[in-house]
């Protein structure tokens, strides 16, 4: 039996979003953010999807600070957040919905989205630049360099870690001009838990699967779209292609799209609508049906 402290606790604002979704009677879309962002980074996507007739939710990771300013003031608020804890938090929110949602996740949120799909809890799933799950073998040099803020200091595994501008420029906004890249850094970047990066890096050495394991074979997984940015340094296309190869063995629909000349910031930069249009088209094909 689970201990009381193991049961995910949803914040009041998250419960209010769930109630709003249920009261609307519309198809819900749940957005899952990754490291170094907050759920508020999805706001343009939420506005866009709601204009198209959906109802949206963007829960945070457990105990995320409410604002970028608060997050930067308290980096260790992010410390020790693990992949399964985050997944369970989203599953707890989804369990309260009256309808199975479409789930859209970016980076580690894309990994969490696939774990949710593996539980059969989503109607349709879109994973964008997803972090590698167990079984994804490529470890490109650019991916290691993008995570150097963590991997260069193994003792920081239990900390909340921030990226310098130079690290953010290389890992996130390498496909943008410097002015836009600095604007995104100032507007969106927050500290992140180092733990998930170590979990992903060592997943293939864990004989028991580890928290980054995804049930890619579940026939109830539902349709899955994997989107990769062609120029992404943090999640290079080798990881995207390997994720697709594993997931494509599922009996459900599995598709892949590569967005040309885009880096890891593709969900928050000035070209986000191109990516959102692809996600929307996929959701419309399957969630609406």
Reported as a single tens digit per residue, the pLDDT across 43-92 is: 999 999 999 999 999 999 999 999 999 999 999 899 889 999 999 999 99
2.40.420.20, 3.30.450.40, 3.40.50.1820, 3.40.50.300: CATH of 4-286: 3.40.50.1820
Q: Which of 102-111, 131-140, 153-162 has the lowest mean pLDDT?
A: 153-162
Report yes or no: 233 and 171 within 8 Å, Cβ to Cβ.
Answer: yes
User: What is this structure's pTM?
Assistant: 0.94
Count the neighbouring beta carbons within 10 Å of the beta carbon of residue 205: 8
53 φψ region: left (φ > 0), alpha (ψ -120 to 50), beta (else)? left
What kind and span of H or E run contains 128? strand 124-128
SS3 state at 181: helix
Report yes or no: 53 and 24 within 8 Å, Cβ to Cβ.
Answer: no
Q: How many CA atoms lie within 13 A of 35 on its CB side?
A: 36
Q: Average per-residue pLDDT in the chain?
A: 91
Distance CA 62, CA 81 (A): 8
Compute and round to an integer the Cα radius of gyration of the chain: 17
Reported as a single tens digit per residue, the pLDDT across 250-263 is: 999 999 999 999 99
Report yes or no: 234 and 252 within 8 Å, Cβ to Cβ.
Answer: no
Distance CA 192, CA 75 (A): 7
**What is the domain partition of the chain in residue ranges?**
4-286
Q: Which of 106, 160, 146, 75 is nearest to 275 (CA)?
A: 106
Distance CA 5, CA 269 (A): 38
């Amino acid at each position: 039996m689970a201990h009381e402290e193991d049961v995910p606790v949803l914040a009041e604002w998250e419960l209010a979003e769930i109630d709003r979704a249920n009261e609307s009677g519309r198809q819900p879309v749940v957005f899952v953010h990754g490291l170094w962002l907050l759920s508020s980074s999805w706001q343009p996507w939420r506005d866009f999807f709601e204009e198209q007739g959906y109802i949206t939710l963007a829960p945070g990771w457990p105990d995320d600070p409410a604002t970028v300013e608060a997050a930067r003031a308290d980096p260790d608020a992010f410390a020790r957040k693990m992949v399964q804890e985050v997944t369970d938090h989203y599953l707890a929110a989804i369990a309260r919905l009256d309808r199975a949602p479409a789930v859209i996740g970016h980076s580690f949120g894309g990994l969490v989205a696939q774990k949710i799909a593996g539980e059969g809890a989503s109607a349709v799933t879109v994973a964008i630049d997803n972090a590698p799950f167990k079984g994804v073998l490529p470890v490109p040099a650019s991916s290691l360099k993008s995570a150097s803020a963590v991997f260069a200091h193994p003792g920081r595994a239990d900390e909340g870690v921030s990226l310098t501008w130079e690290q953010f420029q290389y890992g996130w906004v390498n496909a943008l001009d410097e002015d836009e890249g600095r604007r995104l850094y100032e507007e969106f970047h927050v500290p992140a838990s180092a733990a998930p990066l170590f979990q992903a890096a060592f997943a293939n050495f864990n004989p028991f699967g580890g928290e980054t394991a995804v049930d890619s074979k579940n026939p109830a997984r539902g349709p899955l779209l994997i989107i990769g940015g062609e120029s992404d340094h943090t999640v290079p296309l080798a990881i995207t292609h390997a994720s697709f190869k594993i997931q494509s063995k599922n009996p459900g629909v599995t598709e892949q799209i590569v967005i040309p000349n885009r880096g890891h910031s593709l969900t928050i930069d000035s070209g986000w609508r191109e990516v959102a249009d692809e996600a929307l088209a996929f959701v419309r094909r399957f969630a609406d049906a």
